[in-house]
Amino acid sequence: MAQQHTEQQLDFVDDVTDAEAREAAHRERGTARPITVVGNPVLHRECKDVTAFDDSLVALVDDMFASQRAAEGVGLAANQIGVDLKVFVYDCADDDDVRHVGALCNPVPVELPADRRRLDDSNEGCLSVPGAYMELARPDYAIVRGQDLQGNPIVVQGTGYFARCLQHETDHLYGRLYIDRLSKRDRKDVLRQMAEATPKFETVPND
């Protein structure tokens, strides 16, 4: 899943320019869908690669932006609205409070250079584990390669909370939730928090 970081200069995508307008355009074309929650099989297996970069992919991403906004999320993976495809969207601020908006298909984490591997143990939450939060140590910098909605290769980098978001959403598409990275005790605590909370958005019932 991780690939070797190369010394060559990476050309990072610009996901900052017109962030507000781009997010609004997607969201207004899309329809919010209910969110799948922990226990739904679609969240616990690796999604299929995106191979068709067509209008239906754009329509899916529009719905994902609408769903993300309705649920007040900062990132959303396709399997969180029940779609088995490797694509996620994000609308998230970085360490400098700069807003990043984008969509990434077929994400692959890039291994960080040793001097950029510093752990941050902030709280993390997930729309698919509604009402629960837990500290989780993750690198405070992330680089993810993938493709844009036209299939062009792109590289996204993030710091701070946005780095956490990129790692969290990439994990989703490989069938991994943040609670899978917690200790047994913390995982149990999170599931208890979730059981005691009422989601503020529509979810897909598990049965």
Q: Which residues are catalytic?
A: 169
Counts for the chain of helices (H) and strands (E), in that order: 4, 11
Please, what is the minimum distance in Å from the beta carbon of residue 32 to Zn ion? 16
Of all residues in the shown chain, the one whose CB is closest to Zn ion is 126
Nearer to Zn ion, 48 or 176 (CB): 176
Residue 27 sits at the vertex; the CA angle it makes with 67 and 17, to the nearest 5 degrees, is 120
Q: How close are the terminal C-alpha atoms of the chain, in Å? A: 31
Q: Which is nearer to Zn ion, 126 or 132 (CB)?
A: 126
- Whether residue 26 is annotated as binding a ligand: the answer is no
Q: Has 5 been labeled as part of a binding site?
A: no
Nearer to Zn ion, 30 or 73 (CB): 73
Residue (126 or 190) nearer to Zn ion, CB? 126
Q: Which residue has the tokens 């929650």?
A: 37
Q: Is 107 helix (H, G, I), strand (E, B) or coil?
A: strand
Q: Which residues contact 200 (CB under 8 A, 6 or more apart)?
A: 71, 72, 130
Task: Quote the least distance from Cβ 76 to Zn ion, whole Å.
Answer: 8
Task: Give me the least distance between CB of 64 and Zn ion, in Å please.
Answer: 12
The helix or strand, by DSSP H or E, that contains position 196, with its residue range, turns out to be helix 184-196
- Binding positions for Zn ion, rule: CB under 5 A: 126
Residue environment code for 82-102, b if the CB has 16+ CB neighbours within 10 A, otherwise e: ebebbbbbbbbbbeeeeebbb
Q: CB 187 → Zn ion: shortest distance, Å?
A: 14
49 C-beta neighbours (distance < 10 Å), count: 12
Binding site: what residues are annotated?
A: 126, 168, 172
Binding site for Fe cation: what residues are annotated?
A: 126, 168, 172
